[in-house]
Amino acid sequence: QKEVEQNSGPLSVPEGAIASLNCTYSDRGSQSFFWYRQYSGKSPELIMSIYSNGDKEDGRFTAQLNKASQYVSLLIRDSQPSDSATYLCAVNDFNKFYFGSGTKLNVKP
């Protein structure tokens, strides 16, 4: 059984702070990694994808991947109240995606 683990939260941060979201996965053969954001009652939307070890930055978002430790993280700089949502980590293994249950982020004004 492939597993993707996330802390369910809620993670509360003040506006303007850095939010750090973490994810671990069980399958060393996983090839690609994704972060999705999901607002309540809405469908998941892609924030970042990362395929190789290291950091990948896109605006206020930075994804970090460490395959040796089977760990992927998402940093959100200058957090805004509009970032309040559930963040899903997804790991791809061949044809299938495996999702974590998500971390709920609350950004307080």
Beta partners for residue 66, in sequence order: 71
Identify the residue among 32, 67, 71, 104 touching another protein (CB under 8 A). Answer: 32
CA diameter of the chain = 41
Identify the residue among 28, 29, 43, 52 touching another protein (CB under 8 A). Answer: 43
* Among 40, 47, 42, CA closest to 23: 47
Identify the residue among 7, 92, 104, 106 touching another protein (CB under 8 A). Answer: 92
Q: Does 78 bind another protein (CB under 8 A)?
A: no
107 touches 14 (CB < 8 A):
yes
CA 42, distance to chain mean position in Å, is 17
Shorter beta-carbon distance to another protein: residue 42 or 108: 42
List contacts with another protein (CB under 8 A): 4, 8, 31-32, 34, 42-46, 49, 88, 90, 92, 94-102
